[in-house]
Amino acid sequence: MAVILIRTLVLYVIVILVVRLMGKRQIGQLQPTELVVTILLSEVASMPLEDNDIPLINSVFSVLLLASLEIISSAIALKSGKYRRAVEGNAVFIIKEGKLDVKAIKKLRYSMDDLMESLRQKDIFDVSDVEYAVVETSGNLSVMLKADKIPLTLKSIGESAEEKGIPAVVISDGKYIYSNFSLCRTSKDKIDKILSGEKISVDRIMLMTLDKKGNKYIITRDG
pLDDT digits (tens, 9 = 90+) for 55-95: 888 888 888 888 888 888 878 878 887 877 777 778 899 99
CA distance 21 to 37: 13
Angle (deg, nearest 10), helices 2-22 and 32-50: 170
Q: How many CB atoms lie within 10 A of CB 166?
A: 12
Render the burial of 167-203: b for 16+ CB within 10 Å, e for the rest.
bbbbbeeeebeeebbebbebeeeebeebbeeeeeeee
Per-residue pLDDT band at 173 (split at 50, 70, 90)? very high
Contact at 8 Å (CB) between 104 and 93?
yes
Choose among 120, 144, 124: nearest CA to 132.
144
Looking at per-residue confidence, does 131 or 68 come out higher? 131
Nearest 5°: the CA angle 183, 198, 209 is: 25
Say what the pLDDT of residue 29 is: 57
User: Residue 131: pLDDT above 90?
Assistant: yes
Percent of the chain with pLDDT over 70: 93
Return all residues near 207 (Cβ < 8 A) that are at least 6 apart.
169, 171, 172, 173, 217, 218, 219
pTM score above 0.75: no
Looking at per-residue confidence, does 26 or 74 come out higher? 74
Handedness of CA 74, 76, 80, 83 (dihedral sign): negative
User: Residue 127: pLDDT above 80?
Assistant: yes
CA distance 66 to 46: 15
